[in-house]
Copies of this chain bind each other. A is one copy, B any other.
């Protein structure tokens, strides 16, 4: 990257830093086996993620007061367990299963790439996850964030402006000193509309066989990279 560099880089997390789908399928399948509970865990994982945007939309539109992603995940899970007629789950099981979102594994380039970026830039997640979810995930996966920007700090989910501008405010930086990094063009378009710099890399396996978009950049993002390692290289670290 020849031009101006950011001071801080904030990362979308689900799909961008961690491989939620592979992680969910492996974790839930193993847990089902261990507990002797049979279900189509692959279909559950995909259906659960499909409930993600609609559940946040209710909060974004003011149909529901501020609710953490953990709580939205739990409400969706309770409904899906009924829909899928999964039997025998205790409250303890449901708590454990809901926290699968705290136990996601990073893409292979994520930890080495972030470790390099951390030497020169402030790095953190800017995610729809709540602080505790993102923090537990970082401890579980060894993600070396400098700090955690969870949506509960703002009481808003992306792409509400309060998230992108809230990060700049907490960092005491101008928006154009902050880069949003994501594998999702929509997230970057919102960030750019509020003056942030943008970095894109694709995650073509994020949705497994159901991937429909984000194979390539939609706009001339400030950085277009192959992955986080390549992003670090382009930023000269």
Identify the A interface with B (CB < 8 A).
70, 122, 130-132, 135, 138-139, 145-148, 150, 152-153, 170-173
Total copies of this chain within the assembly: 2
The residue from B131, B153, B173 contacting A171, defined by CB atoms under 8 A apart: B131
Which of chain B's residues have a CB closer than 8 A to the CB of A171?
A: 131-132, 135
Q: Which of A70, A131, A145, A147 has the most CB of B within 10 A?
A: A147
Q: Is the CB of A132 within 8 A of B170?
A: yes
Q: Once the chains bind, are A148 and B147 in contact (CB under 8 Å)?
A: yes
- Known: A135-B147, A152-B170; 15 extra A-B contacts, CB below 8 A, are A70-B172, A122-B139, A130-B170, A130-B172, A131-B147, A131-B170, A131-B171, A132-B171, A132-B173, A135-B171, A138-B146, A139-B146, A145-B146, A150-B170, A153-B153
- CA distance in complex: A136, B56 (Å): 32
Q: Which residues of chain B are within 8 angstroms of A146 by Cβ–Cβ distance? A: 135, 138-139, 145, 148
Kindly provide the distance from the CB of A178 to the nearest chain B CB, expressed in whole angstroms: 12
A75: min CB distance to chain B, Å: 16
* 17 A–B contacts, CB within 8 A, in A order: A70-B172, A122-B135, A122-B139, A130-B170, A130-B172, A131-B147, A131-B170, A132-B171, A132-B172, A139-B146, A145-B146, A145-B147, A147-B148, A148-B148, A150-B170, A152-B170, A153-B170
